Chains A and B, each alone.
Chain A
Amino acid sequence: MSNHMPKPSRRQGLHFEPLWWLLFSAGGVCFAVFVPAVALIFGVLWPLGIIDISLAQLQGYYSSLWGLVFTGAVIFLPAFHAAHRIRHAFHDFKLGGGSTTAFICCGTAAVVSFVAIWAWFMLPG
């Protein structure tokens, strides 16, 4: 960093906590509003054979723009929500929770989100 800036840096005193918190909050809403339905359909009803879902039907839905919305609301935001809580749990258990933990947790969430968006792009349609 240059130390002959004409005035104090506009980044002075700033940090990433507000960003992680906004992602955490948005993810918390998605976790509460969308995840129950997704867990019910894909995690319980479909595997138990109560409802039948075909590959063609899933491909149809997922390859549309709604697939990207699904990725954002059910994978990307909840992943950052989970990362934030896990990071703070490390702090609560006195096992870290500082910037290294934040980097690992949010980094994992970023990788998961990237892979999810990549999966959407890989699907023809």
Chain B
Amino acid sequence: MSYKPQLTGSWWLKHRFFKAYMLREATVIPLAFLLCSLLAGAFSLQDPERFQHWQAFMSNPLVILVHTLALTTSLYHAATFFVLFPRVMPIRVGNYQLPARYLVLAQWGAVWLVVALFIWLFAFGGQS
């Protein structure tokens, strides 16, 4: 005679750690919206009128709000994902184990490098 409590679909509400996990998983929802916006953008490049429609869509305050959310959650995703990388693929040179914090810092460096590249490309037209 024994009993076994069954998990319900709301198990993740019981603890702060599980809520943070679900928040991490939920970062893909604003991402999915951004991907659809970009996909529409890719098609709008064929024709100036469609491009104007896309620009109007992207400038809708609600859309800007969701995209701001996508920016925020992409950074949250980055913060959670970068610390996992050295645990999944520890880098070892001979007998030297590369400290995890260097790998995390290098990944953040890559994020800021890409931001700088995009600002250079689009705010300065790729000119120095």
Contacts and interface: CB of A to CB of B under 8 A. Distances in A.
Interface of A: 25, 28-29, 31-48, 51, 53, 55, 57-59, 61-62, 71, 74-75, 78-79, 81-82, 85-86, 88-89, 92-95, 112, 115-116, 119-120, 122-123
Interface of A, helix, strand, loop or mixed by DSSP? helix
Interface string B43-67: 1011010010001001100011001
B9 A93 contact: yes
A89 B43 contact: no
The 4 closest A-B pairs by CB, nearest first: A43-B67, A32-B78, A119-B42, A82-B28
Contacts of A59: 45
Nearest to B44: A55
A120 B42 contact: yes
Contacts, number: 150
Contact of B64 (A33, A48, A62, A82): A48
B12 A119 contact: no
A15 to B, nearest CB: 20
Given A44-B71, A51-B122, A74 B38 contact: yes
B111 A33 contact: yes
Interface string B89-115: 000000000000000000100110011
B77 A32 contact: yes
B9 A31 contact: no
A36 B34 contact: no
Contacts of A37: 111, 114-115, 117-119
A60 to B, nearest CB: 9
7 contacts: A28-B81, A31-B31, A39-B67, A39-B74, A44-B64, A47-B59, A78-B31
